[in-house]
């Protein structure tokens, strides 16, 4: 029996400089894909994968994230008096149970590896999920989302798991990349990792897609890892050290991801998610046709 994956870490301390001025006063994780904050989509994906406890690594100016997952008393009261019971129920469904959300702060923007390390005491010594909220994923034909597929592979093999996705060779320089051996299946053993390799040097076209299952020993390596790409403490560098002692599997997940950290990915996510909605899809499709594309 594997140790169950109960906790998820969500690093939400980033400044969102690529989205200024939208993110001057609003955390980038609270920008919406259709009518739900990006972060709500990611939390929903984690809940669907069985996650019970949510550890948010926040920073200054991120207070509304805490508010979002709490009761909004005045709003509830007003909606109740107006008889808007459906809306009350919808808000309730998005909330996290009492005690399920935990918050800790990353005090300086030292990199993703450092942000994850800040969650070490809240995670404790158990394997955990990590979801990067820049990435929003949609389910594949089987209906399960990326993290659920990672958990399934973890239950089969144990160790560490990262979701991967194929991109064009020109794009590999912007992501963490995994090396792959002979195995071409849905889940495969990773034989190397590199963070943002210079153009033309990537070991494959498979990017690390922002969903991970990690063993707690990662924290021991993150504590000592040197600054890497961009002068930041990189999670990938910690994983490279951990991979010398433990297995890492890659999952080519069914479904796709939208990199909401980029403007194009964010716009793409909004259109794709709206088109999937019964209440919006048909009308939006008709409106898009009217545009001079
Ligand atoms: C981070 C990771 C990178 C991963 C990417 C996915 O990079 O370091 O390995 O491929 O997220 O979005 P960042 O986007 O923070 O530069």
Q: What per-residue confidence (pLDDT) applies to 27?
A: 95
Return the CATH fold of 7-290: Spore Coat Polysaccharide Biosynthesis Protein SpsA; Chain A (3.90.550)
Q: What are the beta bridge partners of residue 102? A: 55
261 lines ligand 1 (CB under 6 A): yes
240 lines ligand 1 (CB under 6 A): no
Mean pLDDT, rounded, for 104-126 = 97
Helix (H) or strand (E) holding 167: none
Q: Which residues, 6 or more positions from 66, have their beta carbon under 8 angstroms from its beta carbon?
A: 56, 58, 101, 103
Report whether pLDDT(239) > 80.
yes
Instruction: Answer left, alpha or beta for residue 68, where phi above 0 means left and psi between -120 and 50 means alpha.
Output: alpha
Q: Whose CA is nearest to atom 14 of ligand 1?
A: 175
pTM as predicted: 0.95
What's the gap in Å between 210 CA and the centre of ligand 1? 7
Residue in the block written with tokens 């794009």: 171
Q: Helix 73-81 crosses helix 85-94 at what angle (to 10 degrees)?
A: 150
pLDDT at residue 292 tops 90: no
Q: Which of 117, 134, 231 to mutate to test the pocket of ligand 1 (most atoms within 8 A of CB)?
A: 134
C-alpha 138/C-alpha 151 separation (Å) is 16
Q: Cβ–Cβ contacts within 10 Å for residue 20, how many? A: 10
> Could you tell me which of 90, 6, 93 has the C-alpha nearest to residue 54?
6
SS3 98: coil
Nearest CA to ligand 1 atom 3: 176
By three-state DSSP, how is residue 70 classified?
coil
Distance, in Å, from the CA atom of 103 to the CA atom of 56, rounded to the nearest integer, reads: 5
CB 119 within 8 A of CB 9: yes
Condensed to tens digits (0 to 9), the pLDDT of residues 131-182 reads 999 999 999 888 899 999 999 999 999 999 999 999 999 999 999 999 997 7
- Cβ of 14 closer than 6 Å to ligand 1, yes or no, is no
Residues with Cβ < 8 Å from 145, sequence gap 6 or more? 45, 48, 49, 137, 138, 139, 255
**DSSP designation for 209:** E
- Is pLDDT of 293 > 90? no
- Tell me the CA–centroid distance for residue 254 and ligand 1, in Å: 20
235 lines ligand 1 (CB under 6 A): yes
- 227: Cβ contacts below 8 Å, ≥ 6 apart: 111, 233
Q: Would you list the domain boundaries of the chain? A: 7-290
Question: Does the beta carbon of 130 lie inside 6 Å of ligand 1?
Answer: no
DSSP 171: G
> Is the distance from CB of 216 to CB of 275 less than 8 angstroms?
no
pLDDT value at residue 182: 76
Question: Has residue 79 got a pLDDT over 90?
Answer: yes
Question: How remote is the CA of residue 269 from the centroid of ligand 1, in Å?
Answer: 18
Alpha carbon of residue 205 to chain centroid: 20
Given ligand 1 and candidates 175, 194, 195, which is best to mutate, with the most ligand atoms within 8 Å of its CB? 175
Percentage of the chain beyond pLDDT 70 is 100
Measured in angstroms, how far is the CA atom of residue 282 from the centroid of ligand 1? 34
The alpha carbon of 176 and the centre of ligand 1 are apart by a number of angstroms equal to 6
Q: Say if ligand 1 is within 6 A of residue 111 CB.
A: no
| Contact yes or no for 89/76 (Cβ under 8 A) | no
Q: Measured from the CB, is residue 164 less than 6 Å from ligand 1?
A: no
Token pair recorded at residue 55: 């550890």
């Amino acid at each position: 029996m594997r140790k169950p994956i109960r906790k998820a870490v969500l690093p939400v301390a980033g400044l969102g400089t690529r989205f200024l001025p939208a993110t001057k006063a609003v955390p980038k994780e609270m920008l919406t894909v259709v009518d739900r904050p990006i972060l709500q989509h990611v939390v929903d994906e984690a809940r669907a994968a069985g996650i019970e406890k949510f550890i948010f690594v926040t920073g200054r100016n991120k207070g509304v994230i805490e508010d979002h997952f709490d009761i909004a008393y005045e709003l509830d009261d007003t909606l109740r008096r107006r008889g808007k019971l459906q809306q009350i129920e919808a808000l309730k469904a998005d909330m996290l149970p009492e005690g399920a959300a935990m918050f800790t702060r990353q005090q300086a923007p030292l990199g993703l590896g450092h942000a994850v390390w800040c969650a070490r005491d809240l995670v404790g010594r158990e394997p955990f999920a990590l979801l990067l909220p820049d990435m929003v994923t949609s389910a594949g034909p089987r209906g399960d989302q990326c993290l659920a597929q990672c958990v399934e592979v973890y239950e089969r093999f144990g160790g560490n798991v990262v979701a991967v996705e194929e991109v064009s060779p020109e794009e590999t320089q912007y992501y963490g990349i995994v090396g792959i051996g002979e195995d071409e299946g849905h889940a495969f053993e990773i034989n190397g990792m590199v963070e943002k390799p210079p153009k033309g040097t990537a070991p494959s076209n498979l990017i690390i897609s922002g969903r991970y299952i990690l063993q707690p020993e990662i924290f021991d390596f993150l504590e000592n890892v040197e600054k890497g790409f961009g002068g930041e403490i990189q999670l990938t560098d910690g994983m490279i050290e951990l991979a010398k002692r433990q297995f890492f599997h890659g999952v080519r997940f069914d479904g796709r991801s939208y990199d909401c950290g980029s403007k194009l990915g964010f716009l793409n996510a909004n259109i794709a998610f709206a088109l999937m909605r019964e209440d919006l899809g048909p009308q939006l499709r008709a409106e898009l046709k009217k545009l001079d594309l």
